[in-house]
Amino acid sequence: MQIYSFDPAAGKSITAYDSKFIISRIVRTPEPAFIGCMHLETDGVIGRHAAPVPQLLLIVSGEGQVTGNEGITASVYPGDAVFWERDEWHETRTTVGMTAIVIESGALNPGDLMQLKVNGK
């Protein structure tokens, strides 16, 4: 399991065309991708299972805990992006609720555009 950041500090300021916003690049997929939004309510769980393809979970709101093959639990917050390799066993839980975007594709490499969080910070 790897945790990346897509929060504003990881982004780039855009001013072209009189714009004023920050964009945090996430991933480029060379093959088709499934993109969905997951809504976990209070005490929500995505049960432990093996990823059928590489998966990237982008935390948009709320917070939770994730595990990977090693079974080590990490807390995640808005702006975090959790990456699991194909066949990696993992689980996601929240006590307060969480909304997340999931991207699944056979050829995901979030490290191309995002930086890993250092020591979970």
List alpha helices for 38-79, DSSP H: none
Structural domains of the chain ordered from first start: 2-112 (2.60.120.10)
Q: How confident is the model at residue 14 (pLDDT cuts 50, 70, 90)?
A: confident
H/E element, 36: strand 34-40
Beta bridge partners of 14: 21
Q: How many residues does the chain have?
A: 121
Other CB atoms within 10 A of residue 14 CB: 11
Q: What would the pLDDT profile of 36-89 be if each residue is shown by its tens digit?
A: 999 999 999 999 999 999 999 999 999 999 999 998 999 999 999 999 999 999
Q: What is the pLDDT of residues 104-120, one digit of tens each?
A: 999 898 999 988 887 55
